[in-house]
Structure 1
Amino acid sequence: MEHDIKKLIVILGPTASGKSDLAVEIALRLGSGQARKKYGINGAEIISADSRQVYKGMDIGSGKITPDTKNSSNFSTGQAKKKYIFTHKGIPHYCIDVASPKRRFTVAQYQKLAQKAIKSIWRQNKVPILCGGTGLYIQSIVDDLVIPEVPPDAKLRAKLEKLSTDELFEKLKKLDPRRAENIDRHNRRRLIRALEIVIKTGKPVPAPSFAEVCPRQNMP
């Protein structure tokens, strides 16, 4: 009888710290006959949690694993028969090369892809391994953050840019006191993004740690 597993292994650390190799080693061990017999599982698959590895062509310095075979279809489109981008040592990897560097890719988009991958892995009676160095990506999955999908508003940002940093902070404190308590009051980028969310949605930012819904490279 198969075990009803709903487990998630998380490997978090900086680039070039050996995370990817460790994830593959664990996946290979969990796919062994001994593990299948002992734990009643069919192996493991890996989900990248790296804000650079999601971009196609961004290979240098991102620590991407070299694929055994590359899938011509993209997991994010839902058109691939095999719902992963590539395999390494026979282990499927998700959330790599899923976005164009010419377009913004948000934490909300990553969360949807990763959650879809996790459910797919669970359905196969396997264990998902979330591996990477982008803390907010991992937190969006582990803590199931409620992330507002608020696209950048150039006009609103231009208006907010005219305010001083102190004025931005005071405005945020009035509109979203809880967020103002934990934000870096000297970080204009985060202040503007937090204000953008609360102004566009009419609601406070849903999680205190939700400081970088929009990746750094997407802010002007």
Structure 2
Amino acid sequence: MKKNVVTIVGPTAVGKTKLSIELAMRFNGEIINGDSMQVYKGFDIGTAKVRPAEMQEIPHHLIDIKEPEQEFSAADFKAYVQKYINEISARGKLPIIVGGSGLYIQSALYDYHFSNIKRDHDLTMKMEEIVASQGIMPLYNQLVQIDPEQAEKIHPNNHRRVIRALEIYESTGKTMTEYQKTQSMESPYNPILLGLEMERALLYKRINERVDQMMAAGLLEEVRELYGKGLQDCQPMKAIGYKEFIPYFKKEQTLEETIDLLKRNSRRYAKRQFTWFKNKMDVTWYSLTPDTADEKFGVIFEDLAGILK
């Protein structure tokens, strides 16, 4: 029989962490982080990393396993998640993946193969030289022409993914979009996908409030310390919650402008997450509000109990 794997998805700030812990407590589960940035040490507040006090002694995996300078790819994520699923299931417990990195989660749950497309380091180096001398936009505009669907998914600031998409096209003659569409949607597991959604105005209000809470919790100090260590060019510093502060430290914008930008980027990211999960994965969605979350969680518990019989 295939192993059951529960996955909780949805936009940022919707309540995935709280649900994951309650599910783990009720169904004897262990949690696997599904956020691509929470693997990095020191990137805590801006990634909304679960705090030890919130964990309720539930084991959490795939958190703080990488140094900031280390790369971490969807293929790496897939390998780690499969390892943890096997170990958790062998203990007679339920693996629960929680997070918002859509492609990473899809790649781990389904039969994605990444090793077929080897890296072309010479080509990558040439494109990195272009970025260093001319900025990312010449390459990003090239991607828009070659693969507009993929360009829509990738923010220009994510240099690594822009370069990788172009590298795949140059190496294979196929766009990243074409390559992804050939991937199998068969899963080696029994994936149970639960999605949390919230009316947009409520969600955006919640996102704005969470940014304020992050600032009160010391986000500025966290990013300042990382920036002071010379980490501004590392992969996690390009994530939302961190990249917005770089112009502030360079005295190119005010703190107020920085916070407004962070809120805007977080709202836009939430919209992209929601659209991605709606279009790409077979998710059972539960709509909630801050006031009805506990009631809706009860419905989810009942539904999941029926599935796991």
Normalising by the residue count of structure 1, what TM-score does the alignment of the two structures yield? Answer: 0.63
- How many angstroms apart in 2 are the aligned matches of 1:133 and 1:62? 11
User: How far apart are residue 209 of structure 1 and its match?
Assistant: 9.6
1:155 match: 126
In structure 2, relative to structure 1, the CA distance for the partners of 1:29 and 1:55 (3 Å cut) is same
Q: Higher helix proportion, which one?
A: 2
Higher relative contact order (CA 8 A, sep 6+): 2
User: How far apart are residue 29 of structure 1 and its match?
Assistant: 0.6
In structure 2, which of residues 151, 166, 176 is the aligned counterpart of residue 184 of structure 1? 151
1:79 match: none
User: How far apart are residue 27 of structure 1 and its match?
Assistant: 0.8
User: How far apart are residue 97 of structure 1 and its match?
Assistant: 0.5
In structure 2, relative to structure 1, the CA distance for the partners of 1:198 and 1:56 (3 Å cut) is same
Find the residue that maps to 2:51 and give its secondary structure: coil
In structure 2, which of residues 229, 238, 247 is the aligned counterpart of residue 217 of structure 1? 238
In structure 2, relative to structure 1, the CA distance for the partners of 1:95 and 1:151 (3 Å cut) is farther
Give CA-to-partner distance per residue, 1:113-168, whole Å, 9 cap, x none: 11110111111222110101111121112223222463762224436998676655
- How many angstroms apart in 2 are the aligned matches of 1:55 and 1:187? 20
1:9 match: 6
Find the residue that maps to 2:48 and give its secondary structure: coil
Residue 48 of structure 1 contacts residue 93 of structure 1 at CA under 8 Å; is this kept in 2? yes
In structure 2, relative to structure 1, the CA distance for the partners of 1:125 and 1:199 (3 Å cut) is same
Residue 169 of structure 1 contacts residue 191 of structure 1 at CA under 8 Å; is this kept in 2? no
1:199 match: 170
In structure 2, which of residues 17, 26, 30 is the aligned counterpart of residue 45 of structure 1? 30
In structure 2, which of residues 54, 70, 93 is the aligned counterpart of residue 103 of structure 1? 70
Matched length: 173
Identity %: 35
Asked if 1:18 corresponds to 2:15, the answer is yes
In structure 2, relative to structure 1, the CA distance for the partners of 1:24 and 1:58 (3 Å cut) is same
**RMSD between aligned alpha carbons?**
3.5
- How many angstroms apart in 2 are the aligned matches of 1:66 and 1:192? 34
Asked if 1:136 corresponds to 2:107, the answer is no
- AA of the residue aligned to 1:207: Q
- How many angstroms apart in 2 are the aligned matches of 1:5 and 1:195? 36
- How many angstroms apart in 1 are the aligned matches of 2:182 and 2:151? 11
Give CA-to-partner distance per residue, 1:40-77, whole Å, 9 cap, x none: xxx21100111221110101121212226xxxxxxxxx
Structure 2, gaps ≥5 residues long: 184-234, 240-309
User: How far apart are residue 23 of structure 1 and its match?
Assistant: 0.6
In structure 2, relative to structure 1, the CA distance for the partners of 1:25 and 1:146 (3 Å cut) is same
Structure 1, gaps ≥5 residues long: 31-42, 69-86, 173-179
Residue 55 of structure 1 contacts residue 97 of structure 1 at CA under 8 Å; is this kept in 2? yes
1:37 match: none
- AA of the residue aligned to 1:103: Q
In structure 2, relative to structure 1, the CA distance for the partners of 1:61 and 1:14 (3 Å cut) is farther
Residue 5 of structure 1 contacts residue 122 of structure 1 at CA under 8 Å; is this kept in 2? no
User: How far apart are residue 193 of structure 1 and its match?
Assistant: 2.4
User: How far apart are residue 181 of structure 1 and its match?
Assistant: 6.8
In structure 2, which of residues 1, 11, 25 is the aligned counterpart of residue 28 of structure 1? 25
1:58 match: 43
Normalising by the residue count of structure 2, what TM-score does the alignment of the two structures yield? Answer: 0.47
1:75 match: none
- How many angstroms apart in 2 are the aligned matches of 1:54 and 1:199? 30
1:89 match: 56
Find the residue that maps to 2:30 and give its secondary structure: strand
Residue 5 of structure 1 contacts residue 125 of structure 1 at CA under 8 Å; is this kept in 2? no
User: How far apart are residue 101 of structure 1 and its match?
Assistant: 1.1
Residue 107 of structure 1 contacts residue 215 of structure 1 at CA under 8 Å; is this kept in 2? no
- AA of the residue aligned to 2:13: A
Q: Which moved more, 1:132-141 or 1:181-190?
A: 181-190
In structure 2, relative to structure 1, the CA distance for the partners of 1:51 and 1:112 (3 Å cut) is same
